[in-house]
Amino acid sequence: MVEAKRALPWLADSLRPISSTAAGSLPKQVKIVEVGPRDGLQNEKNIVPTQVKISLINMLSETGLSVIEATSFVSPKWVPQMADHTEVLQGIQKFPGISYPVLTPNLKGFQAAVAAGAKEVSIFGAASELFTKKNINCSIEESLQRFGEVMHAAGAASIPVRGYVSCVLGCPYEGKIAPAKVAEVSKKMYSMGCYEISLGDTIGVGTPGSMKEMLSAVMKEVPVGALAVHCHDTYGQALANTLVALQMGVSVVDSSVAGLGGCPYAQGASGNVATEDLVYMLHGLGIHTGVDLQKLMEAGVFICKALNRRTSSKVVQASSRL
């Protein structure tokens, strides 16, 4: 890692705040939601041993990240990678000040999650009827009803719920998605009680143009302080899209260490944006994240070794000796 330190001297020097201009004023700090252990691993072909998952999350806990999505309480029949959800949640070190949300697609999953010690959960909606049908075999309306049950139970247990909206910039089945539809679904989930709505460019087809259009519509219904963006880098647009979101006031960004997780809709293509590359950009903009990039890179190197795959992070590719 000495090599890495020498290769990245600009990180320390570039931590000067930049003034607001035509390029838009940026938030002074950004919260990163690390989705590698769940969204990332779920979309990796190789099944990862439970102990490796636990080690990864523990390493991530030491980087300064404040939110690490740990696992998913979904049926192992559908998502074998997450079959060990209870073991993972119970096995990780839970650091004070760090949240470890877990996915709960329905009431059953929610109850299992709480029994396993979960203190925060997430629910996954979509802005596309066809995507919802293909994914969870029901309509958007029906999915929201299911979520309603989770919200009710979560409310009773004082457990915060984060809402995701998939396909916000395009759908593999429907094609174009109307910004108004994204706004409608986001509003419903926010009104149900989700404290934050993460807007996901699920297939990575979005560009700064469509991002701006979509956010403009959503921000009419949900306060920007409750919004997050979850950009996929399948077409290389993730950081540019994230930058535009920041310029519009969004200050929560989802990403995945080492860019874990391919795209199930485009074979061989990448998926999640790499947390290392995101942090590099944010620090270069003088935006505070609280994350130690070196430690983050180490966690990424660890999981890539365990998965026997190359990192998708360009920062890591540029910094390590190959």
Partner 1 sequence: MGTVPSALKHCLSYQHLLKEQLWIGEPAAPPPALHPGQEFQISGLPDYVKIVEVGPRDGLQNEKVTVPTDIKIELINRLSKAGLSVIEATSFVSSKWVPQMADHTEVMRRIERHPGVQYPVLTPNLQGFHSAIAAGATEVSVFGAASESFNKMNINCSIEESIEKFEEVTKSARNMNIPVRGYVSCALGCPYEGNIVPAKVAEVSKQLYSMGCYEISLGDTIGVGTPGSMKRMLEAVMKEIPVSALAVHCHDTYGQALANILTAIQMGVGVVDSAVAGLGGCPYAKGATGNVATEDVLYMLNGLGINTGVNLYKVMEAGNFICTALNKKTNSKVAQASFNV
Residues 174-193 that bind partner 1 (CB under 8 A): 174-176
- By the 8 A CB rule, do 133 and 166 touch? no
The reply to whether 208 sits near partner 1 by the rule CB under 8 A is yes
Phi-psi label, residue 273: left if phi above 0, alpha if psi -120 to 50, beta otherwise = beta
- By the 8 A CB rule, do 59 and 295 touch? yes
Our CB check for partner 1 shows the closer of 154 and 171 to be: 171
Least distance in angstroms from the C-beta of 20 to partner 1: 11
Part of the chain binding partner 1 (CB under 8 A), chosen from 57-65, 182-190, 198-206, 300-308: 198-206
Question: Packing angle between helix 208-218 and helix 238-247, nearest 10 degrees?
Answer: 40
Among the listed residues 166, 198, 251, 256, the single contact to partner 1 using CB under 8 A: 166
What's the chain's Rg over C-alpha atoms? Answer: 18
Binding mask 63-82 for partner 1 (x = CB under 8 A): -----------x---xx---
Tokens of 322: 């190959």
Give, rounded to a whole angstrom, the gap between the first and last alpha carbons of the chain.
12
What is residue 20's DSSP assignment?
P
Our CB check for partner 1 shows the closer of 225 and 264 to be: 264
Contacts of 9 by beta carbon, 8 Å cutoff, 6+ apart: none
Active site residue 194: no
Question: How far apart, in whole angstroms, are the C-alpha atoms of residue 229 and residue 164?
Answer: 9
The reply to whether 143 sits near partner 1 by the rule CB under 8 A is no
Among the listed residues 2, 96, 156, 322, the single contact to partner 1 using CB under 8 A: 322
Least distance in angstroms from the C-beta of 98 to partner 1: 24
- By the 8 A CB rule, do 257 and 299 touch? yes
Our CB check for partner 1 shows the closer of 151 and 278 to be: 278
The reply to whether 125 sits near partner 1 by the rule CB under 8 A is no
Least distance in angstroms from the C-beta of 116 to partner 1: 21
Our CB check for partner 1 shows the closer of 176 and 305 to be: 176
DSSP line for 121-189: EEEEEES-HHHHHHHHSS-HHHHHHHHHHHHHHHHHTT--EEEEEE-TT-BTTTBS--HHHHHHHHHHH
Question: How far apart, in whole angstroms, are the C-alpha atoms of residue 310 and residue 287?
Answer: 28
Backbone torsions φ then ψ of 253, nearest 5 degrees: -130, 130
Contacts of 36 by beta carbon, 8 Å cutoff, 6+ apart: 56, 60, 69, 256, 257, 258, 260, 261, 272, 275, 303
Active-site residue, selected from the candidate residues 167, 171, 194, 263: 263
Least distance in angstroms from the C-beta of 94 to partner 1: 25
Among the listed residues 135, 143, 251, 272, the single contact to partner 1 using CB under 8 A: 135
Our CB check for partner 1 shows the closer of 60 and 79 to be: 79
Our CB check for partner 1 shows the closer of 55 and 317 to be: 317
Binding mask 21-60 for partner 1 (x = CB under 8 A): xxxx-----------------x------------------
Least distance in angstroms from the C-beta of 269 to partner 1: 4
Our CB check for partner 1 shows the closer of 21 and 158 to be: 21
Residues 223-282 that bind partner 1 (CB under 8 A): 233-237, 239-240, 242-244, 263-270, 274, 277, 280-281
Least distance in angstroms from the C-beta of 221 to partner 1: 20
Part of the chain binding partner 1 (CB under 8 A), chosen from 44-52, 108-116, 190-198, 313-321: 313-321
Tokens of 270: 């990448």
Q: Pairing state of beta strands 121-126 and 102-103?
A: parallel
Kindly list the catalytic residues: 263
